[in-house]
Amino acid sequence: MPFQTIATSPTEILDLLDVPALLLSNDRVAHANQAALTMFGRHIEGQDVRIALRHPDAIELLTSDRNDNVRVSGLSTNGSLWQIDCNTLADGTRLVTLTDLSVQESVARAHADFVANASHELRTPLAAILGYVETLKDAKAGDNEATRLRFLDIIAKEANRMQALVEDLMSLSRIEASKHQLPTESVDLIAIARQTIGETLSSERIQLEANITEAAISGDASQLAQVVRNLIENALKHGGTDLPVTVNVEKGSTGWISLSVIDKGDGIAPQHMPRLTERFYRADPGRSRQIGGTGLGLAIVKHIVERHRGRFDIASRLGQGTTATCIFPPS
């Protein structure tokens, strides 16, 4: 039976760690493992720790005799967040480990932003509803039939806006809950597109084109219908009044199936393109709210496509229109 070498010295233990780690002796870097050398550079060994790390909070801890930890930002790159743990060993050297919390912090920040945005989006129509209800309580406004009906129409519109937002938020929650469950049902993307178009109010403006008679993929039929519906509604809203919208389903040479929704509207400015699938992002906030958008439609599409191990792309040119394309692996 072959013998295995067991790490016993502090330097050997450091070299087994995946996270950046240092051994300090008399406030100098006596040893750095490979992860630390990659992060700070090979010149770090032998340096004074105050020169090696150059962060006041880190220096304050590492040059003290405390066994403690501290969180510092911007240690490696702008926006990065690291936790530095420092402990004194039996021989008097100081063991320093660095844990990257950047992803964890980014997720927490994204969650906080999402909650704040959702709260704002719900608060806006709710404030309008409460305002008009208070106005209707006024005897003068309530006695005027035309005014009363106009205010009730506004209340209904804002309530519908809230309902649409809540439904989209619930959709996102369901999609995220199932994102690790790969769909296994064989479905026909052309049939789903045809049925969804038929259920659309402005179906006469929509043309379905396909280079195949059947587009079989492994998918969740309900979620794929939501993808088609969201893209069509987006194209109808932003594609220009009475201009046609084309839904194109094709099978490529690799066997992958693409579904494209094409409009002939004003197009989208280049600076907005990278952020279109962000939750609550709107290229034209005023117009989106006016036509009833929740700001979640494309985010929902992106999450559904990713659950199906596909890819979602948007191409647009100002004055010529926009093409939103979902590409799925074959069944």
- Asked if residue 76 has pLDDT above 90, the reply is no
Burial of 157 (0-12, 13-18, 19+ CB in 10 A): middle
Q: Which domains does the chain have, with CATH numbers?
A: 10-100 (3.30.450.20), 102-177 (1.10.287.130), 182-331 (3.30.565.10)
Question: 3-class SS at 83?
Answer: strand
pLDDT at 85 over 90: yes
What confidence tens digit (pLDDT) does each residue in 260-319 have?
Answer: 999 998 899 999 999 899 888 877 765 555 565 678 889 999 999 999 999 999 999 998
- 3 has pLDDT over 50: no
Nearest Cα to Cα of residue 329 among 303, 305, 301, 310: 310
Which of the four pLDDT bands, split at 50, 70 and 90, describes residue 108?
A: confident
Other CB atoms closer than 10 Å to residue 7's CB: what's the count?
A: 11
The pair of three-digit structure tokens given for residue 307, joined into one six-digit string: 């659950």
Global confidence as pTM? 0.64
pLDDT surpassing 50 at residue 6:
no
Compute the average pLDDT of residues 1-19. Answer: 69
Question: Using CA atoms, how far apart are residues 321 and 233, in angstroms rounded to an integer?
Answer: 15
Rounded alpha-carbon distances, angstroms, from residue 195 to 98, 312, 330: 55, 21, 20
Give the model's confidence band at 1: pLDDT under 50 very low, under 70 low, under 90 confident, else very high: very low
pLDDT tens-place string over residues 116-157: 777 777 888 888 888 888 888 876 665 778 888 888 888 888
**46, 53, 51: which is closest to 29 by C-alpha?**
46
